[in-house]
């Protein structure tokens, strides 16, 4: 069985310490400076070993120690490390065993590479506490696994009931053990880790409101209590293997993808984390990367919220120049094309050399498609768009404003339109070099910025007033949305 901390049993929800063995109390420590963790790791000699830590979903080496002829060395430094779950790493960069980095960071380790689960840590209350915790949970967890295996293979109803009752009883013992350590050692690192790992148990008894059972009550209960006892400004959360997974699960299962709902959660977490030296920039970066190019349409509004309320107010100092430039440019690109806003004006030149204004189109819906005649994906998608247009959209007056973004290939563009017989009723347009130069001299943003064109094809759907309804969907999703909008309009 794996002895890695909080992986085998903690993540499965079966955590705890027995009431009898969780009697140790946190003693008031003597203040110490820096870190001095002596280590004896046999049989390694005359080599470097490393100290690593979890950091969100990744791992990082944070210190090293040289082992002498007697296999002795020390992880030393003038500053303390952030508390959390750490591990000793061999010269071959394999993890030997895990440990808790306590507040004092003046303790000793004696271990053997052949007996990784027998490491002895002296002088650290948190590691003493964990040793008892680990022994108990491994024993109980193994027993629980045996019970569950027997239960799954049991055909007798009587034995199934007996095994189920024993499973419930054993699980409760584990839960009580966990609560015991939290209650008796509330300031310990282990208590903090156990609290941050908790997943609320949905209530089985549902309330009745106006004669109807509230079936959503378990969902709301779990969401409301999901972060109980978790302080988002605690940098130690990053030094665990489970915090980020819990965070991702929360946004996936308990937060509506609607951007305003996401913003509410992000705002609370970032403001709560503001005083955290490491976790605040980590969360800000995580949310920025997630919503700069989001999974769901419209969630780029979350990125704009982050830009306007954090980066624009000084937090760009957290970034290097390249990242700062990317974020600022991306924000200004997205500001002009949010859902519900009027689409930026397009006054481009058609295939006959005439100006074709987007806002002159009179149609219940308008598709604006930006593409490149040399783009392989465009060569597949634009003819598919034309097929869908001819089969369904043309009949109810939908218009297509088709833009060639590659002005150096006008002959190839016109040839592709002719060969594929692309929508004779479409407006095919491009920006001339003269118009592009004139816009640059006038300091005007170009349509590539205004429509956030960083890949092709880029497609938008506009309503009759040229407000943006949707963007960056598949053609099938655009069709479903148009169908739904038409149905709703008919009542």
Does residue 67 lie in a domain region? yes
Please tell me whether residues 226 and 111 are part of one structural domain: no
Q: What per-residue confidence (pLDDT) applies to 483?
A: 95
Q: 303-322 burial, b for 16+ CB within 10 Å, e for fewer?
A: bbbbbeebbeeebbeebeee
Same structural domain, 50 and 91: yes
Structure tokens at 372: 């490149």
pTM across the whole model:
0.82
Are residues 6 and 116 located together in one domain of the fold?
Answer: yes
Tokens in use for 309? Answer: 């309320």
Residue 27 sits in the same domain as residue 163: yes
Please check whether residues 9 and 156 belong to one and the same domain. yes
Each residue's pLDDT tens digit, 40-67: 999 999 999 999 999 999 999 999 999 9
pLDDT tens digits for 239-281?
999 999 999 999 999 999 999 999 999 999 999 999 999 999 9
Question: What pLDDT sits at residue 2?
Answer: 32
Q: Do 34 and 128 share a domain, yes or no?
A: yes
59 and 143 assigned to the same domain: yes
Q: Tens digit of pLDDT for each residue in 341-388?
A: 999 999 999 999 999 999 999 999 999 999 999 999 999 999 999 999
* Residue ending a domain, choose from 278, 307, 335: 335
The answer to whether position 436 is within a domain reads yes
372 and 317 housed in the same domain: no
pLDDT in the model for residue 433: 92
Domain boundary among 198, 224, 257: 198
216 and 304 share a domain? Answer: yes
Closest by CA to 378, choosing from 408, 411, 406, is: 406
Position 342 in a domain? no
Q: Of 198, 228, 250, which residue is a domain's last?
A: 198
The average pLDDT across 430-457 equals 93
Two tokens, residue 67: 């082992």
Q: Give me the domain span that covers residue 405.
A: 347-489
**Residues 280 and 387 grouped into a single domain:** no
Shared-domain flag, residues 364 and 480: yes
Q: Output the pLDDT for position 453.
A: 93
> What mean pLDDT comes out for the span 401-423?
91
3-class DSSP state for residue 438? Answer: helix
**Together in a domain, 135 and 9:** yes
Please report whether residue 340 resides in a domain: no
pLDDT exceeds cutoff 60 at 68: yes
pLDDT per residue as tens digits for the range 97-130: 999 999 999 999 999 999 988 999 999 999 999 9
Q: Domain total for the chain?
A: 3
Whether residue 289 is contained in a domain is answered as: yes
Domain CATH code at residue 414: 3.40.30.10
Q: Phi and psi at residue 315, in whole multiples of 5°?
A: -80, 5
């Amino acid at each position: 069985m794996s002895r890695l901390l909080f992986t085998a049993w903690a993540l499965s929800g079966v955590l705890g310490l027995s009431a009898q063995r969780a009697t140790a109390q946190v003693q008031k420590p003597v203040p110490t400076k820096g870190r001095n963790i002596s280590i004896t790791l046999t049989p390694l000699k005359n080599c470097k070993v490393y100290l690593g830590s979890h950091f969100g979903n990744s791992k990082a080496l944070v210190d090293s120690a040289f082992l002498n002829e007697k296999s002795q060395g020390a992880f030393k430094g003038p500053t303390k490390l952030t508390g959390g779950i750490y591990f000793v790493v061999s010269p071959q960069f394999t993890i030997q065993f895990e440990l808790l980095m306590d507040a004092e960071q003046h303790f000793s380790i004696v271990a053997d590479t052949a007996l990784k689960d027998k490491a002895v840590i002296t002088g650290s209350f948190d590691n003493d506490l964990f040793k008892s915790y680990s022994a108990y949970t491994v024993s109980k967890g193994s027993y629980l696994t045996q019970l569950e295996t027997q239960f799954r293979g049991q055909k007798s109803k009587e034995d199934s009931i007996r095994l189920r009752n024993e499973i419930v009883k054993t699980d409760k013992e584990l839960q009580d053990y966990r609560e015991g350590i939290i209650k008796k050692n509330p300031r310990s690192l282990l208590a903090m880790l156990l609290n941050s790992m908790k997943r609320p148990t949905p209530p089985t008894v549902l309330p009745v409101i106006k004669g109807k059972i509230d079936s959503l009550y378990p969902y709301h209960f779990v969401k409301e209590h999901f972060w109980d006892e978790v302080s988002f400004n605690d940098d130690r959360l990053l030094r665990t293997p489970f915090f980020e997974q819990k965070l991702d699960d929360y946004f996936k299962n308990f937060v509506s993808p609607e951007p305003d709902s996401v913003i509410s959660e992000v705002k609370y977490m970032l403001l709560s984390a503001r005083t955290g030296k490491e976790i605040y920039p980590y969360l800000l970066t995580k949310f920025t990367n997630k919503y700069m190019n989001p999974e769901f349409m419209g969630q780029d509004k979350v990125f704009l919220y982050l830009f306007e309320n954090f980066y624009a107010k000084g937090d760009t100092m957290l970034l290097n120049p390249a990242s700062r430039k990317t974020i600022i440019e991306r924000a200004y690109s997205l500001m002009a094309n949010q859902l519900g806003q009027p689409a930026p004006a397009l006054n481009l030149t058609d295939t006959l050399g005439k100006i074709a204004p987007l806002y002159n189109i009179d149609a219940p819906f308008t598709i604006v498609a930006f593409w490149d005649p040399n783009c392989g994906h465009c060569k597949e998608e634009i003819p598919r768009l034309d097929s869908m247009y001819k089969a369904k959209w043309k009949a109810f007056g939908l218009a297509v404003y088709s833009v060639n973004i590659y002005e150096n290939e006008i002959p190839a563009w016109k040839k592709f339109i002719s060969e594929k017989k692309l929508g004779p009723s479409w407006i095919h347009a491009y920006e001339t070099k003269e118009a592009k130069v004139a816009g640059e001299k006038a300091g005007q943003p170009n349509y590539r910025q205004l429509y956030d064109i960083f890949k092709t094809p880029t497609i938008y759907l506009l309503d009759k007033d040229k407000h943006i309804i949707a963007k960056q969907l598949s053609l099938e999703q655009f069709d479903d949305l148009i169908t739904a909008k038409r149905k709703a309009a008919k009542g």
